[in-house]
């Protein structure tokens, strides 16, 4: 783990997971109220990862990223779907 801040975050919040050097295979951005909702798919993982930003961001498709996230779920069309909510993402 490269960073003391990440270690402290993981120690304080036991539900968080940190993964490093994972390739982004898909990145979609769309407006939701005053936010830009970002959804990424990571290599060899079948669950979408989501996070919000105030402004549009460059595409992360093909990039290697480090992500800190926690498991979550949302209901879409009456079906509960597993997602991962990103707390921190950094291009490596």
What pLDDT is attached to residue 8? 74
pLDDT value at 85 more than 80: yes
- Domain limits for position 45: 4-91
pLDDT tens profile 15-70: 888 899 999 999 999 998 899 999 999 999 999 999 999 999 899 999 999 999 99
> Structure pTM?
0.84
Bridge partners, 38 (sequence order)? 29, 51
**Hey, what's the torsion of the CAs at 65, 43, 48, 24, to 10 degrees?**
40
What pLDDT is attached to residue 2? 56
Inter-residue contact 16 to 10 (CB < 8 Å)? yes
Inter-residue contact 49 to 69 (CB < 8 Å)? yes
What pLDDT is attached to residue 1? 46
Q: How far is CA 35 from CA 30, 38, 51, 88, 91, in A?
A: 8, 9, 10, 16, 21
Q: What angle do CA 79, 83, 85 make, to 5 degrees?
A: 140
Q: Please give the tally of structural domains in the chain.
A: 1
pLDDT value at 6 more than 80: no
Inter-residue contact 7 to 1 (CB < 8 Å)? yes
Instruction: Report how far residue 40's alpha carbon sits from residue 26's, in angstroms, rounded to the nearest whole number.
Output: 5
Domain of 34, CATH number, reads 2.40.50
């Amino acid at each position: 783990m490269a960073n003391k801040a990440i270690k402290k975050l993981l120690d304080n919040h036991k539900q968080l997971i940190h993964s490093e050097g994972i390739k982004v295979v898909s990145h979609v951005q769309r407006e939701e109220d005053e936010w830009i909702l970002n959804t990424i798919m990571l290599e060899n993982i079948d669950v979408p990862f989501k996070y919000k930003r105030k402004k549009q961001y460059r595409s992360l498709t093909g990039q290697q990223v480090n992500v800190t996230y926690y498991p979550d779920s949302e209901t879409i069309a009456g079906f509960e779907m597993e997602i991962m909510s990103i707390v921190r993402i950094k291009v490596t």
